[in-house]
Amino acid sequence: MLCAAAATWLLTFMDSYIGYLIAALLVGLAGGGFAVGIPYVSKWFPKEKQGTALGIFGAGNIGAAVTKLIAPLVMVAWGWKSVAQIWAMGLAVTAVLFFLLVREDPDQARRAAGEIKPQPFLEQLKPLRNIQVWRFSLYYFFVFGAFVALALWLPRYLTGAYGLDIKTAGVIAAMYSIPASLFRIVGGWLSDRVGARTVMYWTFGVSVICTLLLSYPSTTYIVNGIEGPIEFTLAMGVAPFTVLVFVLGFFMSLGKAAVYKHIPVYYPHHVGSVGGVVGMIGGLGGFILPIAFGALNDWIGVWTSCFMLLFVLVATALTWMHFAIRRMERAHFPQIATETDLPEIIAAGGEKP
């Protein structure tokens, strides 16, 4: 956090494009905090409460949405440099409070006493050989990466597809981001109550329906009627579009928590490395998908092409998840197909908690 704060402050001293790129790269250290936080938080709680705990931890995503609302006001009042400086000071203060108020994770004392030995770096990376880890990464690419991408893309979409002014479009995008981030807590709680796999089925099932409806472009039909041509148009208005997008965002938030509920159960000794890779792939989704949305607009020439891509993505994730689970249940755990929430353990090379 201190390094990220210093890098954020460094932005205000840059006077060249290359300099901004270097400083922005160092700001990316903040993303490492998420990968560190997942194993740290999970170690304090038994597995039946880890979903809720990690959901609350992950709800920190709301900071990005709050920044979208507050940063422009600060920039208008005091200039753009003040945004970086105030945010850097806030992060530095948080780092100091964290150092003073929190305890070391339970395993650290055992490592210091020699009761357990730190795992070598290559040993920590062994789970990444499992295709299951990359399947989880695909899940997070959609539930987190696509969520971030939509939050960034919505203002452009609403102004282009519906002709809304940028202020109204920005408010809708903010309303999409803030509540959906908080619903991550609900997703964690539900993962503990009904199971992460069930929540993932809900997430992907509803998302397939929403993206399918949202991907249908405004279309005018001409039917040869008895008394001549009959013309009618099928198009989605702003209100139903907003409702569907909010429903999609809600279930994405549930899925974000459910994905991370899996990791400490499947890989209790490799939460950091597995969680880091999953989070990295999700973050790449937030970077790659907006670019893909723009490219599809140029290529297809239809505003709803972004939802066509998301439909293909979530349908692929749902299909892969379903057949992987069914195959492993039949091959390895036929007797517990209905007795456990996570029947994939060990089957795909995962660890038994």
User: Using one digit for the tens of pLDDT, what is the confidence trace for 87-97?
Assistant: 999 999 999 99
Summarised one tens digit per residue, pLDDT across range 132-150 is 888 888 999 999 899 989 9
Looking at every residue in the chain, the average pLDDT score rounds to 83
pLDDT value at residue 333:
56
Q: Which amino acid is at 256?
A: K
CA distances from 54 to 86, 184, 239, 257 (A): 28, 9, 33, 7
Phi, psi of 221 (to 5 degrees): -110, 145
pTM metric for this prediction: 0.78
Reported as half-sphere exposure (CB side, CA atoms, 13 A), residue 30 has a value of 21
How do residues 242-290 score in pLDDT, each as one tens digit?
A: 999 999 999 998 998 888 888 877 777 777 778 888 888 888 888 899 9
Cβ distance 110 to 251 under 8 Å? no
Higher-confidence residue of 60 and 240: namely 240
The average pLDDT across 162-184 equals: 79
Under CATH, to which class is 2-108+133-336 assigned? mainly alpha
Of 49-53, 186-190, 226-230, 332-336, the range with the highest mean pLDDT is 186-190
